[in-house]
Amino acid sequence: MATKKKVAVTKPAAKKASTKKTVPTKAAATPRAAAKRVERALLGGVTLLASETQGRTGAQAIAPDHSPRAKPAAVRAPRSVSAPAKSAAGLKERVEQFLFRQSELLDNKHWQDYIDLFTEDGVYWMPALPEQTEWEGTASIFAEDKMLMQVRMGRVTHPNAWSQAPMWATNHLVGNIVIEKETAKEVVVRSRFHMMELRRDSVRHFGGTYRHTLVKKGSGFRIRLQRVDLFNGQAAYDYVLQIWV
C-alpha cells in the first residue's frame, strides 16, 4: 500500500548542473558482451497485480479530497423521454421513441440508464471498417459488452478522470429510420445519426449509421447489438472518443 511517506514528492536538493557521474561506468566491453548484458537485464521482471490497486492510488494517495472537476450542474434535463401515450402506437413510432430516448440519455449523461437499455448479453460495437461483420476478434473502435461498458462509465464518473474536467457535452440527432426486419422476438433498425461534441471551446462532428438489433420487451425494447458505423471512422481523430457515440 502506498503511503504518503513513501511517495512524498520532494525535489532533489538543487544540484549544480554538472557532468559528474555518480554511478561508476564500467570499462567498455565488446559489443557482444554489451548485448549479453542487455539480454540478462531482460530476464525476469515484475508483474503488477490488480489486487494491489486496492485503496488510494495516484493523485488520491497524495490528496484524497482533491477534485479536478466541477460538480455536475444542479439542474439537469429530464431523466427520460416518456413512452408514447398510446401503447397501441405502431412499431415505427415505438422504435423512433426508443432511439430518441437513447440520444437523450447519452446527451444528458445518464450512463447507467443507457447501459440498462442493453440486454444482459448486449453489445455496443463500433467497427473500424464497414466490411467487418463480427464484434469479437476484429480491430474495432469500440467493442464492449455490458461489463466493459460498466468500466467506461466508471472511468468517466471517477473524480480523477482528468479529461472530463473541461467543458464537455454532446448533441445527437437521429433520423432516416428504416425498419429492416421484424420477427416475433426482434426488430432490426437502421438509422442515421449526427453527433456534435463540444470539448473546451471546440466542436467536432461525427456522423454515420446505427444498426440496432432490438429485442422486444413488452411494448418497449432492449438492445442486443448496437452497431455504429462512423462515416469518418478511419479519418484522423483530433483527440479521441471518450464515450459511446
Partner 1 sequence: MPSIDIAKLVEPDRVHRLAYTSQEIFDIEVENIFEKIWVYCGHESQVKNPGDYHTLQIGRQPMVMVRGKDRQVRVLYNRCPHRGVELCGNQRGNTGSNFVCSYHAWSFHLDGKLEAIPLMKGYDGTRLTRDNPDCDMKSAARVDSYRGFVFASLSNAGPTLSEFLGEARIAFDDMCDRSPAGEVEVVPVCHRVIQHSNWKFFMENQLDALHPSVTHQSTGVAAGVIEKEIAAKTGHAPLHYHYLSAFATPFDKWDTVQTINFPRGHGILKAYMGLRPQDPDTKAYERLMEKAYGKEKMEEYLSRSIHHVLVYPYLSVQSPLQQLRCLRPLGPNKTLSEIWHFRLKGAPEAIYRRSLWYFNLVNSPATMINADDLENWTKGQWGLESKGGDWVSFHRDYGRDTIENGVTYSNKGTSEAVMRSQFQAWTKYMQGSL
Cβ atoms of residues 124 and 116 within 8 Å: no
Nearer to partner 1, 75 or 136 (CB): 136
Among 81, 113, 152, 192, binds partner 1 (CB under 8 A): 152
Interaction residues for partner 1, span 126-145 (CB under 8 A): 126, 128-129, 136-143
What mask of x and - would describe binding to partner 1 in positions 43 to 82, judged by CB under 8 A?
xxxxxxxx-xxxx-xxxxx---------------------
Q: Which of 180, 181, 182 is nearest to 191 (CA)?
A: 180
Read off the C-alpha cell for 20: 559528474
Among 81, 155, 196, 216, binds partner 1 (CB under 8 A): 155
Nearest approach, Cβ of 241 to partner 1 (angstroms)? Answer: 4
Nearer to partner 1, 81 or 153 (CB): 153
Cβ atoms of residues 94 and 84 within 8 Å: yes
Rounded to the nearest 10°, the torsion over CA 169, 96, 116, 240 is -30
Residues with Cβ within 8 Å of 245's Cβ and at least 6 positions away in sequence, in order, are: 126, 193, 195, 206, 208, 228, 230
Nearer to partner 1, 97 or 242 (CB): 242
Among 67, 80, 163, 171, binds partner 1 (CB under 8 A): 163
